[in-house]
Structure 1
Amino acid sequence: MPATVHNEEPAENNRGDRIFFAAFMTGIAAISFGLGAFIVLAEVPPYQSMKNAFRAGTALWEQRTKYTDVERLDFWAPARTEKTGVTIHDANKTQQGLTLYSSGDGPHAVLIDMDGNVVHEWRMPFSEIHDETSPIPNPQKDGFMHWHTAKMAPDGDLIVQYTAAGDTPYGYGMAKIDRNSKPVWKYLGTAHHDFSIAPDGRVYALTQEFRFNKYANRKQLTPPRLDDFAVILSPEGKEIKRVSILDAMINSSYANMVDFAPYFSNEDVLHTNTIQLITEETAANFAHGKAGDVVLSFRDLGIIAVLDMDVEKIVWATRGPWLGQHDPDVLPNGDILLFDNQGQLADPDAGQSRVLQIDPKTNAITWQYKGTIEHKFDSNIRADQQRLANGNTLITESTGGRLLEVTPDGEIVWEYLNPVRRDDPDNSGKKLIPILSQSERISDDRAALFTDTGFTPPSNDGEPR
């Protein structure tokens, strides 16, 4: 019988091969790590592609994991009280009229009388106007959006802006809708936060987009960034002018103010949250801008600025005793009224927010409203205010889901709490209230358009009662 030949290698050779292979793979991993570290630290190609891919993956993961329950969105906050509707009403001291507000529980707006009765309501989900022209190819579900801003046009139609949670850009666009919640026009540019309606029907709005440009003297503004633009829409909703706000700032004498952006905002350096048109009336006593310019608010920089839309340049900017501000309004006397979200630091039990009226020549505070222990006033983001014809101020305390009208002496003469409530999924037995992002007391001529009878307001889920 022929001898059997064995080809097996000695055990020590196998162990040696495995050790060699492990060392080889460890070396490859070390080289890859070192190369990756060099690419990141030196910011050489393909650094930007790696950075973009990582950020995109992180954003997608957060969207899929953090934004699954509507009640966990920041459109909702813990309810401070069980009270709903109108809780204070001194008819002898209020500016009588109808009040329009938008709510965080969906894309809708409500018009109420002084007793809190619903006079009219508008609802139109974004899915009804979205099409292939939108830069948002896969928008969030309708339940994850609300109208951040809803304002009534002179003809009684409503102009609204859609904001989504868990997406960037989060501004989805605008629409004008009639009293039956049917679209008159739509603008699917990435409009966000705020807009202003001119007397001639044009609309001044904010849009946002990712940009990849660099600035020679501002290396900290690394791409991609979410940059803001000021746009002008025709009365029919067509874009007729568009200005880069960051370019307008960098190309102005106020460019150095950008260098004081906090560390967390370089990828959204301005975070413009307000645009207000300066009219002939408000320009008369305002030394820092002319009719046709717009007032802007840069939240994280704490800046109020004026943009000349003709020369596309910031022509005035200031910082003052406010933090995270919203809604600077130029008053007819030339002062600026604004919501100071986080600047009330002296008495935390009264809330961190206040409304300030300032003299822009000196930044001196000429009037203010702040909360008390009995009437806490606290909205860390969003919120706005409106100076009324009788001298009172209508205030939207967004996080509290509350509207209030105060006299020049600071007396609350009208208060309204969002009547919508939902269970807090993270705190058994507790309730959540949807934010009220903005409000306005509408003029008598527009209010007259809604004094008809026969309107049946929808319930909270949009179905007729």
Structure 2
Amino acid sequence: MGENGDLLQNINVLDVLYANDLERYAVKVNQPEAGTDGPGTKDLLHLNDVEPLSPRMADEYPLFDAGDLLVSLREPHLVFVLDPDTKETKWHASAPLIQQHDPDFVGDGWIGVFDNNEDFTERGTMLGGSRIVAMQPHTDSMEVRFPTSASDPFYTDIRGKFQRMPNGNMLLTEAQAGRVVEVDSTGQTVWEWVHPPYDARQVPVVTKATRLNLTRQQVDAWACSSGNTSAVP
């Protein structure tokens, strides 16, 4: 899309998979909850994130170029980096991801991924919960950055976001639990916020939390802020 909302380019992701010998990922999709009818049976890919590699960070990624796209497909458990001009996939990864979200270029050649690690239990008890996985394509390295042995239980079967902080902490959105938590480099909780439940068994979903580099004074100046007394008639 252009600055005015004009369509500049349209890429068929299924065509990309076939052109790069990745069609095997499309045919292994399993959606038992969709049955044999309905729109869910046609959601082969479920593209849930696209992030361009910025010119500022491009030198940190030897295999890629500025403008390449980092793409996440939830249903085939697949992330890949795509040249939008040639439609070539320069790198891809699947295992050990399970229905992942929010891959990001996090610097120093690493790609961070919110791995939902879905196991079809209510609290992730079979596989240990959701994770933040880091991959470094040019060295073929993989690390689990969260959780650690010091971490509290953490699991969301769908949705989920993470944000890496300048001090090394991470802000995590445990979407289905209605919870936002910041953890330090050891995996321990720094602070958390949980959305109040609206009945005995359910809490509202929190789809995304973002830490903004703003002061309290700047936020209080917003017209919608409770701290902006000048906006009160």
Give the TM interval when normalised to the shorter protein. Answer: 0.7 to 0.9
Partner SS for 2:14: helix
Larger relative helix fraction: 1
Which entry has the higher C-alpha Rg, 1 or 2? 1
Identity of aligned residues (%): 26
Matched, 1:405 2:182: yes
The residue aligned with 1:144 is: none
Among residues 357, 379, 387, which one is paired with 2:164 in the alignment? 387
Partner SS for 2:193: strand
Distance in structure 1 (CA, Å) of the matches to 2:156 and 2:19: 34
Distance in structure 2 (CA, Å) of the matches to 1:318 and 1:307: 12
Q: CA deviation at 1:412?
A: 0.8
The residue aligned with 2:10 is: 242
Distance 1:336 1:390, change over 3 A: same
Deviations 1:23-61 (A, max 9, x none): xxxxxxxxxxxxxxxxxxxxxxxxxxxxxxxxxxxxxxx
Gaps of 5+ in 1: 1-232, 424-429, 458-463
The residue aligned with 2:78 is: 303
Among residues 192, 202, 205, which one is paired with 1:415 in the alignment? 192
Distance 1:278 1:422, change over 3 A: same
* 2:30 maps to amino acid: P
Distance in structure 2 (CA, Å) of the matches to 1:437 and 1:258: 26
Distance in structure 1 (CA, Å) of the matches to 2:58 and 2:66: 6
Matched, 1:291 2:66: yes
Larger relative strand fraction: 1
Deviations 1:107-126 (A, max 9, x none): xxxxxxxxxxxxxxxxxxxx
Under a length normalisation based on structure 1, what TM-score does the superposition of the two structures give?
0.42
The residue aligned with 1:440 is: 210
Distance 1:255 1:283, change over 3 A: farther
Partner SS for 2:15: helix
Which of structures 1 and 2 has the larger relative contact order (alpha carbons within 8 angstroms, sep 6+)? 1
Distance 1:268 1:350, change over 3 A: closer
Gaps of 5+ in 2: 33-39, 227-231
Contact between 2:117 and 2:127, CA under 8 Å: does it hold in 1?
Answer: no
Distance in structure 2 (CA, Å) of the matches to 1:453 and 1:343: 39
Partner SS for 1:274: strand
In angstroms, what is the RMSD of aligned CA positions? Answer: 3.1
Contact between 2:132 and 2:147, CA under 8 Å: does it hold in 1?
Answer: yes
Matched, 1:334 2:109: yes
Contact between 1:384 and 1:397, CA under 8 Å: does it hold in 2?
Answer: yes
The residue aligned with 1:358 is: 135
Distance in structure 2 (CA, Å) of the matches to 1:393 and 1:270: 28
Distance in structure 2 (CA, Å) of the matches to 1:394 and 1:285: 23
* 2:170 maps to amino acid: T
Contact between 2:150 and 2:186, CA under 8 Å: does it hold in 1?
Answer: no
Matched, 1:368 2:145: yes
* 1:409 maps to amino acid: T
* 1:415 maps to amino acid: E
Under a length normalisation based on structure 2, what TM-score does the superposition of the two structures give?
0.79
Distance in structure 2 (CA, Å) of the matches to 1:415 and 1:439: 11
Distance in structure 2 (CA, Å) of the matches to 1:294 and 1:324: 19
Q: CA deviation at 1:284?
A: 1.6
The residue aligned with 2:89 is: 314
Contact between 1:392 and 1:406, CA under 8 Å: does it hold in 2?
Answer: yes
